[in-house]
Amino acid sequence: MGAATDHALGRSTNFYVDEEINFKDGFGTEAQVEFAAGERVEFVSSSMEFSIERIDRMDQKQTRSITQDRVTGKQSIAWSLEANLSSARSDGTAPNLNMLFKAAMGGTFGSNTYALTSTNALQSLRLMREANGVFSEVIYGAWVEEMTISASGGDIPKVSFSGGGCHYALTGTSNVASSTTDTVNVTTGEGHNFMIGSLVTVSNQTDSTVRAIATDALTITGSSSMTGTVIPKVPTAGAITSVVNNGLQGTFSLDGVTSYPITSFDLTLANGIKPIEDEALAEGASDFIAGYRTVSGSVSVRAKKSDLLALTRRLTYSSGSTRDFDDVPIILTLGPNGTATDIVITMATAELEFGSIDVPEAEEAILNIPFRALSSAYDQSDELTLQFNQ
C-alpha cells in the first residue's frame, strides 16, 4: 500500500489454481466458475502474458506510412509459476501444488504418488493471479506444457510449471456511475479496466462475470440498483500448511549406488502440447492435444576417482568393439529420510547421455551427466514417478 493509493505488491500477491470440471468452465458466461480460498497455492514467482497479433496493411497507396487500419490476428496466452518443492505435513494429504502436478503428469492423486501412465489424461486448469486488490488476471482452458524440478547445493529445491491457455481476462477497479438491470456504467474512461470474463464484485449483483462491454457499460447480472465500487472478486486466501525440505538432506542413487555427492540436479517433463489455434473464425486456441512427451535432465558430480563410474556408465562394450548403451535407475530423495516429509523422484529406466567434464583452472573438476528417462517397454509409459510424504 502506498501513502496515497494502493499499489500492486509482489509480497501480497496470491495465485489460485484448480482443475476445470468442464473445459474452459463457462468462461464469459453466467456459468463461469469462480475461485475458492482452498485453491490458493504457494509460489515464489509467476507470470501471465496475453497478446493479440496486429498485422500491418500493406495496400498500395501514395505514402510510405503504415496506416492505423491494422488487422487483428490471433491472440496468444502464456503463463508460468515457480515454487519451492514442498510436501504436506501429514501422509495421505495432497501437496499444495496437487492440481499442477496432476495437470503436468495426468491421472488422479492417490497415496501421495504421481506416476506417468499410458492412460493418464492431461487435466485442463483455470488460474488466477491477484495483486493486493489492485488487479487480477485469470486464464481458463489452461494446460501445463513443462514441469521442471531442480536442486543445487544447499538451496531449497524448486519446481516450476509453464504452459498456455484459451481465454484470458485482466480486471482492474472502478466505481459505479449508474446502473440498470444487468448493466453497470463505470466511471467514464474506466471501462478499459475490464475484459469479457472479468470476475468482479459490486453491490446488488447476482452474478460476478462480465459478459459484455460497451465502452464504459459492463453487462453483469444484477438489479437496477447496483452501487459502490467495482473491484476484482477474489476469495480470502486460504492457509498454507506445507513443509519445505532444504537442499542439505537426501540421497542420490544411480544404478543402485547411493553414495554420489551431487552438486546439482534438474529434471524437465515436456508434454509436447499442440494448441489448436489455426482454426478460422476463432480468436485463439480452442483446445489442445498432447503429443510425444520427453523426460530429460542432468546431474553434476565432483570428479573424484570413486565417482567416475557415474559418467563412464553411459557406454559399455559387451563384446569386442560393440558399443552398448545401458539404462540405469535414477532415484533422488529430498529430505532427511523417514520423517514422512520426504519427496522421492524415481526414473526406473534412464539412459545416460554424453556430457563434458568441466575442468576449471584451479578448482576440482565436475562431471556433467545428462540423462533421458525412458519407458521400460514399448507398451509402457512409466518414465517418471513422484512420491510425497514417504
- For residue range 249-270, what is the model confidence (pLDDT) as tens digits? 778 888 877 777 778 889 999 9
Cα distances (angstroms) measured from residue 298 to each of 96, 264, 316, 369:
26, 8, 20, 5
Model confidence band, residue 356 (pLDDT cutoffs 50, 70, 90): confident
In which band, very low, low, confident or very high, does the pLDDT at 243 lie, cut at 50, 70 and 90? confident
Which pLDDT band holds residue 317 (cuts at 50, 70, 90)? low
pLDDT band, residue 108 (cuts 50/70/90): low
* 167: pLDDT strictly greater than 90: yes
| Cα separation values, 157 from 85, 115, 152, 250, 364, Å | 6, 20, 7, 11, 24
Among 29-38, 81-90, 194-203, 267-276, name the one with the lowest average pLDDT: 81-90
327-341 per-position pLDDT tens digit: 888 888 887 766 667
Tens of pLDDT, residue by residue over 1-28, are 455 557 777 677 899 999 999 999 999 9
What is the rounded average pLDDT for all residues in the chain?
85
Residues 141-163, mean pLDDT to the nearest whole number: 92
Residue of 9 and 70 predicted with greater confidence: 70
- Higher per-residue pLDDT: 177 or 307: 177
pLDDT, position 291: 85
For residues 280 and 78, the model is more confident at 78
pLDDT for the residue 1: 47
The predicted-structure confidence for 182-220, as pLDDT tens digits, reads as follows: 999 999 999 999 999 999 999 999 999 999 999 999 999
Confidence of residue 178 (pLDDT cuts 50, 70, 90): very high
